[in-house]
Structure formats: C-alpha cells, structure tokens
Structure 1
Amino acid sequence: MSPTQPLSGYRILDLTVMTAGPVGTMMMGDLGADVIKVEEIRDGELSRNMGTVFAAGESSMFLSQNRNKRSIRLDLKQPAGRDAFLEMARSVDVVTENFRPGTVDRLGIGYEAVRAVNPDIVYASVSAFGQTGPYAHLPANDPVVQALSGVMAMTGEADGAPVRIGTPYPDFGAAALLAFSVSAALLHRERTGEGQRIEMSLLAGTIFSSIPRDGETLRTGAAPPRLGSAHPTFVPYRNYRGGDGAFFFLACFTEKFWGALCRCVDRPDLAIDERFASNVARCANRTALDTELEAIFASRPTSEWLEMLGKANVPAAPIQDLHQTLRHDPQVRHNGMVVELEHPTAGPVEMLALPVDFRGTPAQYRRAAPRLGEHTEEILAEFGFDRGRIEGLRRDGVVAGLADATKPAKPVDL
C-alpha cells in the first residue's frame, strides 16, 4: 500500500455482503485502506455464487465489487470464531456490516461488543430500512427499496406501469454514503479521539436522492407523475427520435438553451409563440411542443441532429447501451473509467474505476477481488495468531484457507 493515499494506514474489518456494503468498502480500499473481507466459512460471501456470468468459477458480480480486499474465512457462529473476530477488532479502525438488524448482536460482534475491546472504533451499519422501526426486521434488497421509496412509481411511461431503475441505485447510494460517512468519522476521530457508531439505510439514501422532487411533492401535495424520459418541470427535456429511428436525449433547462434550439432547427417562430415563450408555458403546452419537435427531428438522422445541436451549444446525447458506453465511448475511455486487473484464476478482469480523480493521491488498483480464504493465514498472523493456534482453529472448523474443505454450516441470516 502507498503511504500517500488518503486512507492509507486505516484497517477495516468488512462483514458486508452483496453490493451496497462491498462497493463502499471497495471505494475505501481504492483510496488505500486495508480492507479485510470476513467471509462465511463454507461458501463465502453471498455474491460469490450469484449471477449468470462466471469466469473460471468466479462470479462477475463478486469480481466487480471486491477489488483491493483480502479474504479470511471465519465461522462467527462458533465462540472461538467470535473471539477471534473480537481479537482482530482490538486493533482495527473500522468495522462495517450490512446484516439484517440484530444479527451482529446475536453473534456477539455488535457495536457494544467491539467497543468494549476497542473504545475508539468506527462501526458502520448499512441496512435496507434502518436498525429500528416497523420495517427493520423485513427482508429487502435494492428494488424493494425502489418500490417503497417512491422512485419506482415515478419511473416509466406515462400510460405504463412503474418500472425498476436499470441500475441498482439504492445500493450505490448507500455505498457512497458508507465511504463518505466512515471517512468523515475517521476525520472526527483524528480531531477528538472519539470513535462512534454510524447507521445508514438504502431507504434514507434513496429518498434523499429524490431532491428536488421532494420539495415539489411536499409543497403541492401531489406525487411526481410518470413521464417516461420527460421531466415534470422542464420542457423540452426528453428522448426524441431522429429520422433514422435512433434515439437521443435533449435537455433545455434554461431559456438560453431553448433559444439556441429554436435557432438550430430554424424555427424562430417557436421562440416567440406565447405557448412556448417561457418554461412554465412550455410545461403547460408540452404535448403541442413535442408534436412540433417530433416532426422536426424526423427530418434528419440522429447523428446529424447531434452534430448540429453540439455546434449550437444545446445539451444533447445519443441513447447508448451499456456496452457501447463502456467499450466505445471516447470520453469514457479518455477518463480511464474502465480498468483491468489480473486475477489468478479468472485472468484479466475489467471493472469500473473509482469515479473520483484525486490528482495528488490517485486511487490505486492493487489487487483483483480475493479468492475465498486466500489470505486467512496471512491476516491471522498479522494479528498475532501463531502457527499452532491457526492450525488449531483450522482443525476445529473455525477458520479456513483457500483450499480447505469445511463442514457444512448454515449461512448467517440476512
């Protein structure tokens, strides 16, 4: 690890699974933190066996969100496993977990148990709905939170059903909040010497992302309508189709852009038409304006419109699929948004880079996602476990290494 990275020198015991927690700890690992992934002893973290795309037996889901981590297999249901975890927790800076509320306390590794051996610990818990309350005990994942938060209800065509967002936004919102909050808590600890517990939920993060729709909803008493790709308070602001059938997105969110669009399409009359003379008027007459614009855009291929709109300084972009974006978009490639790491069994693995450019202390991609239990002995030795004790724990089925067979064990309840 480079000592110059923002989080170099901090050590994290990472109990998180699936996406929200692992992506958040991966971000911290990219910035120098030593992330120790504590995995269920039999099958490891849940996402190791999920999805439909695998490389040499490794799930692409797991590979995408667990780089810059080391793996230890530990049976937390055994008292010796709990004791080993708490022994490691004595000298780490952060513990992260996203089990169902109450699970870590039942295992004896909750905040109070860790705080008893490490008073200045930063202990971060991620959950779907919060640690307490009427929903806290319920199972949930990203789309369940999308449904409950109101985000799904405002997504989809006006005459269609609610639609799940194409990417797991609640998970990634929680991941960003996890990395942000842990970093802020560590800064607070540097200043005061005090650790603390942090709690965040996918629900709270997703609702927070509804800004500024929240203000409109609370002030009007009406939920935002489904408008497909359109916007409730800006017009024109939606997908349009060129004469070749290809879609592009157009965003006129200021009068400057609206005026530039009218000049670009050679329709100065639209700018002075009282129905379209202001954004408020355009919102009230969006159907009439869309009819005009749809006819105009049907006259040329999308590529020509995009070239013209770019020259006219009007915000617009082609509607690309993810493969086009990741493989062929010149800005994505220029920004280095896809990186490659060598995995010992899966081979070269491409994945997304940290989306923040630290010019003085850039992210470092040191290692691909770990194999299950790859670093068990190495990690235990670093925490002072001698070889005899490690072998005893292995014989008792408390820990396991890379190739160890282990007795079946029920995974921790999520």
Structure 2
Amino acid sequence: MPEQTSSLPLSGYTILDLSVMTAGPVGTMLLGDMGADVIKIEEPGKGDLARDLGNQFVNGESVQFMSQNRNKRSLRLDLKSPEGKAVFLRLAKTADVIVENFRPGTVNRLGIGYEAVRAVNPGIIYASASAFGQSGPYAGWPANDPIVQAVAGLMDMTGEAEGLPVRLGAPLPDFGAAAMLALGISTALLHRERTGVGQAIDTSLLGAALFSTIPRDGETIRSGKSPSRLGSGHPTMVPYRNYEGSDGKFFFAACFTEKFWTNLCRVLGRPDLLDDERFTDNTQRTANRHLLDAILEDEFVKHPAAHWVHTLSEADVPCAAVQDYHTALTTDPQIKHTGALLHLDHPVAGALTNLANPINFQATPVSVQRPPPVLGQHSEEVLREFGFTPAEIEGLLAQGTVKGARVAVKDAASAAAVAG
C-alpha cells in the first residue's frame, strides 16, 4: 500500500470507496484526513455523479466534487463487466473497508455485495449508506437530502410561523449520515482489532436526520403535537430568536437559562420584567412569547445590531450577529482562528479552498496528503500497488475495463502540494 505518515490515526488502513454524491464521499474524506488510504472507484464514463453537478467548474473540475473528495485516489473501473468485478474482488481481498451508497440491492446485483466480498476477505468492514435504509417500504425510492428532510419532518418544522415549509439551508441529513458512517467504520475497525471479526454496517440519511432532531422527539411524543414553525424562534425557550437592531441588521439572542434572562433584563435596564408575572419563568415566557417579543423588539431597535452583540456578550448573554455565509468563511475572526479553511493546489483546477476536518487530535493531527483526484488519475498506480502486472494493466486498459485520467495532470509532487 502507498507510503503514508505513520502518525496519522488511520494510517495503514485501505478503503475502497464506491460512494457518490455527498454522504458517502464526505464520510470517507473524514477517514482519509485521518490517514486511511481511500481509493475512490468510479465508473469509466463521467465518474462520481457529483463531478457533473451544479454550475460551478474550474477547468472542467466540479467545485462540488472538489469540496468533498480530498485525500483520495481515483480508479476508473467498469464494475458492470465480469472483468471489472474480478478486479474489484481482487482489490477487496486485501482491503480493510468498503463503502457504498447506491440504492439498496445494487451491489448485490453487481456481484460485489457484502457476502461476495466476505467470501474472499472474512475480516472486511462493509459500510452502506442510503437514503432510507436497506429495507422497508421506501428503501428503493429515488431520493436525496431534501427528500429525506421532507419525510423526517425537518422541512415541516422549518420556516416562518405563517409561511410554508422550508428546506434547510445546508444538507444536514447528508452530513449527519457521513459522520455516522465514519464513526461506524472507526468503531468496527476497533472491534476487529480486538476480535478479528469483520462486519457489515448500515446507516441512512433518514436515521441521521431523525437523530438530529433530539430533543424535539421527546417533546413531540409527550405533547402529541408536531413542533410549530417559529422562524428563528424556539418551541420551548423564550427569548430565543433573531432580533433586529436599529440599522436593520439581525442578531440572535438565546436566554435558555434563568441566569441569562436575568442578565438580559439588567443590560436593558428593565428589572421590572423580572417581577412581571407573565415572565417569571420560562414556562410563562413561552406562553406569553408574543408579548415579550414585542417588548424586546422595542428595546433592541434603539441601537445597531453590533452594539447589542457586544453589550450582551459582555454581560454574559449568548448572542451573535447573523452573518452571511461568505462573511463567515472569509472574515469571521473566530472561524479564521480555528483554521477552518484549507488551501490546496489541485492538479487541474489550481488553487483550491476546502473546509478543514473539524476534529483536532493533539497527538496525531489530521493531514491533507492529496487534493481531490482527477477522474482516473491513479488507476494504473493503484493496480500496480495491488500486484497487477504491467501486462495485466495493459490488457485491462486496452479492453476498457480500466481507464486512466481523462485529462493531463501535473506531476505527483505538485498535485499533492498543500499551500497552507
């Protein structure tokens, strides 16, 4: 297997990544950041569906794809052919993990499902992620993140009080499933280290979406009612929402304890609110949210939003400016301080910015060893490392079972360079 930094947490483990789009690729990217050798196996035509999605491309390379596929190598392999299936099983024989997120049943029809791989590699960890799970009435539905948001109830609880259901601004079910996938794989590898036993893992966007609604689940089941749409407000805590300053800009204030409520009243110079029977505790404030919000809106409109962010934060009231995403990524001082952005050199697209892995290891910090791969960039390299002879590789390329890079790339040293 390729030479890697031995200090990384998952160095020495090889992952065959069949996944496409977002949930699977983000999950394997997290593991690649931690040192795993992630080999992205893509169909010979256009590869991962994400390579052709959206409307932003740099020298033909998809911005969407490049945001979620660093620390991987790309092998173009025709899994629908008998020869391609044989190549895959040969790779799987010595791999540690296989990841797929096709519709349930697809890998079995291709002859590369868990049982087929386990027959050649009993210790394999075989991880599947799907929209709704491997079985059940929705298992075969075509679906993506917003479809799951709709089914899970996330869309219905999002939006303004008198408005329509709203899709979340970010694909959180996808990313929840990615995190669960990475966690499940890591845990299964630990179990195998202890017992020698491999296993299949199954997670879904639906499962991750529902899990992310904690504690709405308990509130809903106990009350028998679904959460109401409250815009930026909270169903069981008040004050807890966006407010507008005198400059028309917004900030979020969150008084989820009595301490924070008391601090807020003192900053506003309104100790009378503490003695008002309508607001004596959170239950009363929630019941009278519209009355309280009207009072607070009248107070907050006296000064600009930035004044309130500074003043409330200084008074130990949770508060933040509502800033746009571009501002968050490019100028926010805390986000800069955390090192949330990575700067890489892509072999075709050039300078590239990615979001960094959010886990900070003290002893074994994660590392970016490879930029997102060009389709088929590592096809021959991977086959050589798995023991295929030059003649075998030449034959697979000649018959189209395997294909190399579809465009010219820089030299390996340049392609792997990290500029920050």
TM-score range, shorter chain: over 0.9
Residue 23 of structure 1 is matched in structure 2 by: 26
Aligned to 1:35: 38
**Following superposition of structure 1 onto structure 2, how do residues 1-400 of structure 1 map, counting pairs within 5 Å?**
1-400=4-403
TM-score, normalised via structure 2 length: 0.96
Residues 56-99 of structure 1, C-alpha deviations (whole Å, 9 max, x = no match): 11100000000000000000000000000000000000000000
Query: In percent, how many aligned pairs have the same letter?
Result: 61
SS of residue in 2 equivalent to 1:153: coil
Aligned AA (1:352) = L
Using the alignment, how far apart are the partners of 2:90 and 2:274 within structure 1?
70
What SS class does the counterpart of residue 172 from structure 1 fall into? helix
State the AA in 2 paired with 1:132. Answer: S
Deviations 1:249-307 (A, max 9, x none): 00000000000000011111011111011000000000000000000000011111111
**Residue identity opposite 1:151 in structure 2:** L
SS class of match (2:156):
helix
- Code of the aligned partner of 1:363: V
For the aligned residues, what is the CA RMSD? 0.9
Shift of 1:403: 3.4
Which one is further off, 301-310 or 110-119?
301-310
Distance 2:228 2:310 in 1: 32
State the shift of 1:311 in Å: 1.1
Q: Secondary structure in 2 aligned to 1:152? A: coil
Q: Deviations over 1:118-166 (max 9, x none)?
A: 0010000000001011001110000000000011110000100000000
Residues of 1 paired with 2:152 and 2:406: CA distance?
Answer: 43
Counting matched residue pairs gives 405
- SS where residue 391 of structure 2 aligns? helix
Q: Secondary structure at the match of 2:30?
A: helix
Give the Cα–Cα distance (whole angstroms) in 2 for the partners of residues 78 and 314 of structure 1.
Answer: 62
Q: Distance in 1 between matches of 2:129 and 2:54?
A: 22
Q: Secondary structure at the match of 2:279?
A: coil
Q: Name the TM-score, length of structure 1 as normaliser.
A: 0.97
Q: What residue in structure 2 maps to residue 411 of structure 1?
A: none
> Structure 2: any 5+ residue segments left out of the alignment?
409-420
**1:404: how far off?**
8.2
Secondary structure of 1:275's partner? helix
DSSP 3-state at the match of 1:136 = coil
Task: Quote the residue 1:409 is aligned against.
Answer: none
Aligned to 2:411: none
Given residue 234 of structure 1, which amino acid in structure 2 is its aligned partner?
A: M
Distance 1:18 1:152 in 2: 21
* CA distance, structure 2, for counterparts of residue 234 and residue 404 of structure 1: 55
1:376 positional shift = 0.3
Q: Which residue does 2:418 correspond to in 1?
A: none
Q: Which runs of 4+ in 1 moved over 6 A?
A: none
Amino acid at match of 1:244: D
Q: Residues of 2 paired with 1:222 and 1:199: CA distance? A: 31
Q: Give, in whole Å, the separation in 1 of the partners of 2:364 and 2:267.
A: 43
Q: Could you say if the C-alpha distance between residues 404 and 274 of structure 1 is closer, same or farther in structure 2, counting changes exceeding 3 Å? A: closer
Q: Which amino acid aligns with 1:282?
A: R
Q: Which amino acid aligns with 1:253?
A: F
1:109 aligns to what SS in structure 2? Answer: coil
Q: Distance in 2 between matches of 1:231 and 1:223?
A: 13
Between the aligned partners of 1:378 and 1:80, the Cα distance in structure 2 is: 18
| Letter paired with 2:207 | A
Deviation at 1:4, TM superposition (A): 1.1
Letter in 2 for 1:87: R
Deviation track 1:19-38 (CA, whole Å, cap 9, x = no partner) reads: 00000000000000000000
For 2:157 and 2:201, locate their aligned partners in 1 and report how far apart those are by CA, in whole Å. 30
- Cα deviation, 1:326-360, whole Å, max 9, x if unaligned, reads 00000000000001110011111001000111111
Q: In structure 1, how many angstroms separate the alpha carbons of the residues matched to 2:305 and 2:141? A: 47
- For 2:336 and 2:363, the matched residues in 1 are separated by 21
Mapped partners of 2:270, 2:248: distance in 1? 22
Is the partner of 2:277 in helix, strand or coil? coil
CA distance in 1, matches of 2:167, 2:350: 33
